[in-house]
Structures are given as structure tokens and as C-alpha cells.
Amino acid sequence: MHPATESKRHISRGALVGALALFLAQSTTCAFVATGAEPAAKKSAPTKRPRPLTWEERSEIWYNQPETLKAPALAIAENLFYVGNKQFSSHLLVGKKEIVLIDTPYPVHFDMLVDSIRSVGVDPAKITLILHTHRHYDHNGATFRMKKLSGAKTAIGAKEIRGRLQKPHVLEPAIQQYCERRGWAYEPFDIDMLLDHGQQIDIGGTVVHCHHTPGHTPGTISYSFDVTVDGKKHMAFLFGGPGLQTLRWANNGYPGAAAERKRQQIEDFTRTFDYLKTLQVDVPLGAHPFINDTLGKYERQQKGEQPNPFLDPAGWNKFLAKQEASYKKVIAEMKEK
């Protein structure tokens, strides 16, 4: 996901501050100190709910105030760590031969990412492979810097590449132009491996399985691998592209004319949901932390909740059913227009 797809207008700093001030003012409740008899109840006009900030407005905050997204690094399993922030997921998988990072956030969050990796006892310079779920910049924005730091190889779904593979390869030219207009860093990187369905990557003691799950983008890749939780092996699964918003985008990343692009995308999403329902997932992971409540589960884990909150097969099935229902609703609404 990226703000350029939602709006092209420039949001001034003053307008942003005003919107945030309105939000805070309307979210604050007032208290009074009772002195004697209770005051007579007064009818007050209903408070006008603030409009949600657009993706572009929130991105202004994320870029200009990156510290607002800082989150604790945490262990999900013995060899699996969450090292992302409050908005953008990054997972670290430690094998006997390879150390794998899955997805990177925007470049401005690189230092936080490095600090999180170090905090779980891993030297970021020793990362050997960076896997990506899909082409959107909030999933690969800091890859150039991490590759420069570590010398790691990089990989992404084969169908995310348009035309010939370049070095470095610009995955989204429109987003590059958008970032340059805003004064934001856009840093393309060399892609060393192209992934497809069924591919396996042995990282030493753990095998990463690649699943082509298109829909959000043409080449979205999901990843599964065994992890050890509470002394037992369980299958972890990272669904690389659950976002349905790209169904409404004019430029959804698919080739061809508009009608053909949309037809391909709908067919892909339908096949993906059918495929995902065949999987038995024990430890669902989120392409964004709010998708599977990563940070909430960590808080519950820290309080000693049993069974371990990250062991959540029921949560996976519930999420999948809800997401597919939302998908069908979006398709029905699109057909009515």
C-alpha cells in the first residue's frame, strides 16, 4: 500500500497539524469536580466525529515523525522474531546457515529496524537473505540500505517484475516520482532472486516454502516455515497480500487494458482464497502488525497467557473467513457500479 495511490494532492504541514489538533480536541473528554449537589443534566449537541486521516496524511506523520511508530522487538518463536514497527511488519528468521529478513519498511525507519534486530541478539550485518512479500514500497523501502549494510541477497515474486530485470530495479516508477516530489527517499535495489510457487529455500534446519498468492499484486508471495513454540514444532504462515484496497485502484500492477487488469486481479484473488483455505496454519503472521494483532498478542504473552497467544489456528480461520467475506462484498459493490 502507498499514499500515491490514494491521493495526489499536497498536504501542507499546517493543514496536517490542524487535522491532528481537531482529532485530539474531539477525542478529549472533560471532567468536573462536584461541589455539593449534582448539577442539572444539560443536553449537549452531539460531538462531531473527526474524519479519519487519509493514508497520505498518516504517511506525512510516519515520514516526518518516525519515532511515533517505534515498537518493541519480540520473540514469536525460538527462531522467529518480530523486528518491525507499529505499522510496517518485518520478521527475522534465524536458521543454522542463513539469517532471513522478510520485508523492510520505509527508508526513514531503517535505523529503528537495525536497533530492533540488534535488540534480539542478531547482528544485522550478518543477514544473508531479504525476502519480500510484494512490490509496494512499505514492504521494501529500506532494502537498499539493509543490503548495503549486510551484503544480503534479495528476492521477490517473479511476477512483480515488469519488462527486463534491471540493476537496480525500480519496482514502482510512479511511486519513485511521487517520493521525489515530496522530498522522500526512494531507493531501488538490486534483485538477486525471483520466486514462484513451490520454491523452497533451505536456511539450515528450517525450510522456507514460497506460495504464489496473487491478488493484492500480481506477484505476491506468502511464506511458510516450521517454528518451535513452547517446545513443539508448528507451521507459521505469512500471508503476503491480504489488502483488498488494490481492487479499487486504477493501476493495480496488472498488465493490459483496464478491464483485463481487473478481470485478472479478481480471478487471482478468488484462487488465492481457495488455496489459503487448504492450509493448516498454527502461527499466523501479519504483513502488517494489526492484521494478526502482533503487538497485542505479545502483551498477552508477557502477562503469562496460556496457551501461547501466537499459537492461533482459530484466529487464522476467523481472519480468512472475514477477509473472504469482505472480498466478496467489494466485488458485489464493484459490479453494481
Query: Each residue of 280-303: pLDDT tens digit?
Result: 999 999 999 999 999 999 999 999
Q: Which domain holds residue 308?
A: 54-336
Cβ 111 vs Cβ 185: under 8 Å: no
Is the model's pLDDT at 8 over the cut of 80? no
- pLDDT, one tens digit per residue, over 220-264 is 999 999 999 999 999 999 999 999 999 988 888 888 888 999 999
Within a domain: 163: yes
C-alpha cell read off for 94: 534465524
Cell numbers found for residue 159: 511476477
Assess contact for 161 and 219: CB atoms under 8 A.
yes
Q: What is the largest CA-CA distance in the chain?
A: 79
φ/ψ of residue 225, rounded to 5: -170, 155
Q: Are 237 and 284 in contact (CB under 8 A)?
A: yes
pLDDT at residue 163, rounded to an integer: 84
Q: In angstroms, how far is the first alpha carbon of the chain from the final one?
A: 24
Q: What is d(CA 140, CA 192) in angstroms, rounded to the nearest whole number?
A: 14
Instruction: Say if 189 falls within a structural domain.
Output: yes
3-class secondary structure, 44: coil
Q: How many residues does the chain have?
A: 337
Q: What share of the chain in percent tops pLDDT 70?
A: 86
Give the span between the Cα atoms of 291 and 222, in whole angstroms: 14
| Residue at 149 is within a domain | yes
| HSE-up (13 A, CA, CB side) for residue 215 | 26
> Could you give the number of structural domains in the chain?
1
pTM of the model: 0.84
- Angle (CA) 138-141-145 rounded to 5° is 155
pLDDT band of residue 42 (cuts 50, 70, 90) is low
Instruction: Report the run of H or E that residue 301 belongs to, with start and end.
Output: helix 294-302
Residue 118, all three cell numbers? 540488534
CATH of the domain at 81: 3.60.15.10
Cell numbers representing residue 95 in the block: 536458521
**Distance from C-alpha of 193 to C-alpha of 165, rounded to nearest angstrom:** 10
Structural domain includes residue 69: yes
Instruction: Tell whether 214 is covered by a domain.
Output: yes
Q: Report if residue 38 sits inside a domain.
A: no
Write the burial class of residue 77 (CB in 10 Å: 0-12 exposed, 13-18 middle, 19+ buried): buried
Q: Does residue 39 lie within any of the structural domains?
A: no
pLDDT reported for residue 5? 41
Residue at 331 is within a domain: yes
CA distances from 278 to 9, 316, 317, 326 (A): 43, 12, 11, 19
